[in-house]
Structure 1
Amino acid sequence: MIDRLCALGFTTQEARVYLALLQQPCATGYELAKGAGLQRANVYQVLASLTDRGVVARVSDETPARFVASAPADVFGRIKRQTADRADSLIADLAALSPAQDRAAFTLRDREAVIDRSASLVGEAERRVAVCLHAADLDWLAAPLRAAAQSGRQVVVNVFGDAELDFGEVYRHEPSNLAVGGHLLTLAVDHSAALVASLDEPVGAVFTRNPALVRVVEKLIRDETYMAAIFERLRPELEAAFGPHLVNLRTRLLPPDQAEQLISIVGFGAGGDAVAHLLADAPDGRTD
């Protein structure tokens, strides 16, 4: 608890006094010193600081003075609003200093950074969110997506794997264990920002506001959406023409290792004669 308070701007001593005062309302400085395990002189300095910030209040003019803690909802609601205002101001001021960043792409190399950036992008959306993800990614992205949909923004979700969604326009693809190419996530917001991530280890992602790159990501997501809708309606005809999971078409375009993975997944058995036959038909003539 103390560490979490310190992360919001409290000193260790301030955190200890505030916690002690919540548990012991109308306490004197002497009583708080005992409860917080601090020197009495230090407690009065801390109380003065907290009083100036509205975190505690003196409730008597008598000696010794008595104090109460302000309600946590009031204290941290104010901190939340002030932090949001400062962050918004910084975003605007820093953007003015470096307008060329809108043309750049930024690399993220940490899973938590990818999660934070993805959730932030969805939260910042004003009109539209489009995403391709695996069902497991909904553990951390479902709440921001649902909030976006409930606020009236268009939310398009392409999901690989089994997931029950109560929001957005949902397009279902094959289970995650049948997908080739690894654990990928693509996200586009308001036709103005995009993120592409590989969530297999080592995790890596690129975030961009570059208009050309954003259009490419938008097209990737749209193509996945088209394919899911068309495959749901015309699966028998498509598989009759191109094989199970469109294997005859896809093996001509995938890298060799992913082509063999796909063939194994759809049931031919990697390494068999059918694998060699399909790969031999590929444009580059690969037979491995």
Structure 2
Amino acid sequence: MAGKLAIAANESDDLLADLKRLGFTEYEAKIYIQLLRMPPSTAYEISKGANVPRPNTYHALEALAQRGAVLPVSENPVRYVAAPPNDFLAALSNQTRALCADLSERLSSIAPSSKGEYVWMLRGEGNVHSKIDTLIEESDTSIWIKASDTVLRRHKEALRKAAARGIEIFIVLFGPDAEEFRFGPTCRVYIHEGNGVRMGTTDNLFTVSIDHIETLTATVEGEVVAAYTRNGPIVNLAESLVRHDYYMAEIFARLGPQIDEAFGPYLRDLRLACFSPEQAASFKKRTGLS
């Protein structure tokens, strides 16, 4: 019994905290929860049940009524009921969304144009992958990606919907199966260097460019961190990275044996000539070459 009471108390504390995050005062949150438990109630009954001083109860009830959170349902004495949570919170969500959209437009009109020169940092797996999905969903003309299949699978549904909208999708893939990510006639997929093997630390990045105007590059192993920008030169740099890997994929598809003969498997001789010791060690571990 004591355990159940403790759980109920913790749940009530959580509800109070979340309502306060939505703009309720401590007393307003307590009164709204009390009325959900015991409708309809007079101000006296609410004050007693919610443990709120009576003068504060009248003030809080008036504020809640103005917000549509409670409704008076009788006179002499006045009794109140709480608005159904689904209806009230849906209305609050719509009002907040409309207010945010209006504020965004008005505040943007007074802010100086940044012309996209900033680079914004995002941290955390959820934040980064949510941003990637948003970029894909809001694309208008094109999506260019360089990524591994293990990461790209998290965004297959968003990419499939983009392809259905006719968006040009261009993917350089680390992985063996290009067909897995061909979602239609507007979607082209190329296996990186003809084999899809990741060689070094830069091959563990996820890079996406949207509509040739914005780009995001993320580390997706260990701590997940991303850089997002609309800076023109950086967007061009990201697209050049994807474009040149496409060139390499096509060259390997046609001249793979000759390239291996000239430079060794996986461009071994070229890579080891310029890799750092750490990169060289990673390359040898991944490929089994020396």
Same fold (TM over 0.5): yes
On the 8 A contact 1:135/1:161 being kept in 2, the answer is yes
Match of residue 186 from structure 1? 207
Distance in 2 (CA, whole Å) between partners of 1:103 and 1:260 is 38
- Following the alignment from structure 1 to structure 2, what is the Cα–Cα distance between the partners of residues 105 and 246? 36
CA gap 1:157/1:59 in 2 versus in 1, 3 angstroms: farther
Q: Which fold has the larger relative contact order, with Cα–Cα distance below 8 Å and residues 6 or more apart in sequence?
A: 2
CA contact (8 A) 1:54 1:70 kept: no
Q: Aligned to 2:142, which of 120, 128, 131?
A: 128
Residues 203-256 of structure 1, C-alpha deviations (whole Å, 9 max, x = no match):
654322122221221232344456567767886776566544343444345444
8 Å CA contact retained: 1:102, 1:208: no
Could you say what secondary structure the match of 2:74 adopts? coil
1:41 aligned onto 2:58: no
Name the TM-score, length of structure 1 as normaliser.
0.69
| Secondary structure in structure 1 of the residue aligned to 2:282 | helix
Shift of the 77–260 alpha-carbon distance from structure 1 to 2, 3 Å rule, reads same
Q: Is the 8 A contact 1:107 1:204 kept in 2?
A: no
Identity across the alignment (%): 32
Within a 5 Å distance, the mapping from 1:1-288 to structure 2 comes to: 1-2=14-15, 3-72=17-86, 74-108=87-121, 110-111=123-124, 114-115=128-129, 117-134=131-148, 137=151, 148=162, 153-156=167-170, 158=172, 160=174, 169=187, 178-181=198-201, 183-199=204-220, 204-224=225-245, 239=260, 242-252=263-273, 254-268=275-289, 275=290
Match of 2:65, SS state, is: helix
The alpha-carbon deviation at position 266 of structure 1 amounts to 0.5
Q: For each residue in 1:164-197, what CA deviation from the matched residue of structure 2 results, as whole angstroms up to 9, or x when unmatched? A: 7796846666788x44115422222222111223
Structure 1 runs not aligned, ≥5 long: 269-274, 276-288
Unaligned runs of 5+ in 2: 1-13
Aligned length, in residue pairs: 267
Alignment partners' CA distance in 1, 2:100 and 2:191 = 37
Once residues 62 and 168 of structure 2 are traced to their aligned partners in structure 1, the CA distance between those partners, rounded to angstroms, is 50
TM-score, normalised by the number of residues in structure 2? 0.69
SS at match of 1:101: coil
Deviations 1:1-53 (A, max 9, x none): 43333222223333333333334443433443444343343333222212111
